[in-house]
């Protein structure tokens, strides 16, 4: 892939300064055809599933801007994702900002095309509802496990009576639809007040491993990684990173902040601990630029995407026999 390898690399900062040029994810080429790449980075500018403060529709653009700060080699693992895989920015899904159900279909259709082309998606939200149509597109053949970083379980049932689709319900729907294996799901960082004392019943009774933030700090980050790896095992796994899992000190620009979360460094350490897992998709969601006065939350989101891209590129290279 010599020629392609050159094509699907970020623009170097000593060729065009980082502040120059249109901002694409990681300064990668913007393309339409997913069959040209191994990993497709996609924006889903959607926040119609938000129940409180909106604004995550603006996430992909600001994450793209901050992602121009990412470099080529991981400083700890020395992973070089662009040597292992062809990666590009596939643009944004054409969501319908005034129709939730239509948007779910549009997101699913977009990701079906990526999946059919054999590319692995890494996504920037958008609110957390986007993970459901992504899973509908890529997890139909076999339910996946999930490492889920979040303050919230996102396994609520309904809102305002009968409404099934909000950013608080994607993982109940994904289990109901056979896309997500709850027994191979670990939720990390859960906290915050509940509407009712039974709110966590679905997650706990279906067998999800819920690591509340209190247990996280009691057992420590290395033990959390070991437990996540035990739960996931060898099968396919999706990584879903809601930035509100972080303490709002580190990620204030989000719609549903909860104090008392993990730090950015702890999050990076956990993502590095997922090396070797069979990662089939991932997202970073709930960056809400209108609440992100310093721009730091978008930088956090971009950095977590690079942290995920590294073990994802290793997994994709292994699946393609190049690892
Ligand atoms: Mn969430
Ligand atoms: Mn959350």
Q: With the C-alpha atoms ordered 39, 40, 43, 44, is the resulting torsion angle positive or negative?
A: negative
Distance 151 CA to ligand 2 centre (A): 5
Distance 84 CA to ligand 2 centre (A): 32
Q: Is 93 in a helix, a strand, or coil?
A: coil
pLDDT (0 to 100) of residue 7 = 85
Distance 246 CA to ligand 2 centre (A): 9
Domain residues of the chain, as ranges? 2-319
Ligand of minimum distance to the alpha carbon of 191: 2
Distance 72 CA to ligand 2 centre (A): 30
* End-to-end Cα, the chain, rounded Å: 15
Ligand of minimum distance to the alpha carbon of 169: 1
298, 254 Cβ separation under 8 angstroms? no
Alpha-carbon gap, residue 9 to 81, rounded angstroms: 9
Contacts of residue 78, Cβ cutoff 8 Å, sequence gap at least 6: none
Distance 39 CA to ligand 1 centre (A): 23
Contacts of residue 35, Cβ cutoff 8 Å, sequence gap at least 6: 117, 118, 119
45, 59 Cβ separation under 8 angstroms? yes
| Residue with token string 């400083």 | 75
Distance 198 CA to ligand 1 centre (A): 18
Distance 77 CA to ligand 1 centre (A): 28
Contacts of residue 201, Cβ cutoff 8 Å, sequence gap at least 6: none
Distance 2 CA to ligand 2 centre (A): 41
Distance 69 CA to ligand 2 centre (A): 25
Query: Mind listing the pLDDT tens digit of every residue in the chain (323 residues)?
Result: 455 667 899 999 999 999 999 999 999 999 999 999 999 999 999 999 999 999 999 999 999 999 999 999 999 999 999 999 999 999 999 999 999 999 999 999 999 999 999 999 999 999 999 999 999 999 999 999 999 999 999 999 999 888 999 999 999 999 999 999 999 999 999 999 999 999 999 999 999 999 999 999 999 999 999 999 999 999 999 999 999 999 999 999 999 999 999 999 999 999 999 999 999 999 999 999 999 999 999 999 999 999 999 999 999 999 999 86
Model confidence, pTM:
0.98
Ligand of minimum distance to the alpha carbon of 251: 2
Ligand of minimum distance to the alpha carbon of 152: 2
Ligand of minimum distance to the alpha carbon of 241: 1
pLDDT (0 to 100) of residue 4 = 61
Using DSSP bridges, classify how beta strands 236-242 and 144-149 pair: parallel, antiparallel or unpaired.
parallel
Has domain 2-319 been given CATH number 3.40.800.10?
Answer: yes
Contacts of residue 259, Cβ cutoff 8 Å, sequence gap at least 6: 247, 248
């Amino acid at each position: 892939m010599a020629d392609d390898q050159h094509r699907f690399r970020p623009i170097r900062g000593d060729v065009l300064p980082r502040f120059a040029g249109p901002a694409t994810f990681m300064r990668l080429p913007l393309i339409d055809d997913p069959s040209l790449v191994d990993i497709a980075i996609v924006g889903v500018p959607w926040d119609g599933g938000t129940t409180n403060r909106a604004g995550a529709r603006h996430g992909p653009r600001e994450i793209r801007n901050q992602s121009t700060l990412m470099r080529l080699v991981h400083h700890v693992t020395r992973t070089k994702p662009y040597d292992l895989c062809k990666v590009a920015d596939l643009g944004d899904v054409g969501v319908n900002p005034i129709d939730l159900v239509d948007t779910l279909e549009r997101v699913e259709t977009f990701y079906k095309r990526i999946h059919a082309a054999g590319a692995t998606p890494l996504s920037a939200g958008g609110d957390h509802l986007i993970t459901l149509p992504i899973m509908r597109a890529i997890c139909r053949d076999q339910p996946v496990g999930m490492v889920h970083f979040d303050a919230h379980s996102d396994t609520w049932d309904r809102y305002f009576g009968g409404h099934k689709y909000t950013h608080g319900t994607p993982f109940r729907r994904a289990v109901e639809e056979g896309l997500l294996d709850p027994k191979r799901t670990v939720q990390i960082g859960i906290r915050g007040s509940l509407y009712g004392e039974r709110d966590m019943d679905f997650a706990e009774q279906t067998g999800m491993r819920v690591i509340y933030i209190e247990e996280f700090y009691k057992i420590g980050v290395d033990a959390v990684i070991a437990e996540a790896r035990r739960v996931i095992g060898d099968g396919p796994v999706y990584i879903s990173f809601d930035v509100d899992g972080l303490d709002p000190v580190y990620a204030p620009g989000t719609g549903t902040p909860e104090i008392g979360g993990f730090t950015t460094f702890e999050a990076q350490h956990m993502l590095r601990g997922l090396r070797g897992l069979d990662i089939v998709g991932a997202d970073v969601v709930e960056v809400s630029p209108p609440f992100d006065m310093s721009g730091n939350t978008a930088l956090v989101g971009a950095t977590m995407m690079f942290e995920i891209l590294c073990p994802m590129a290793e997994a994709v290279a292994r699946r393609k026999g190049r690892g």
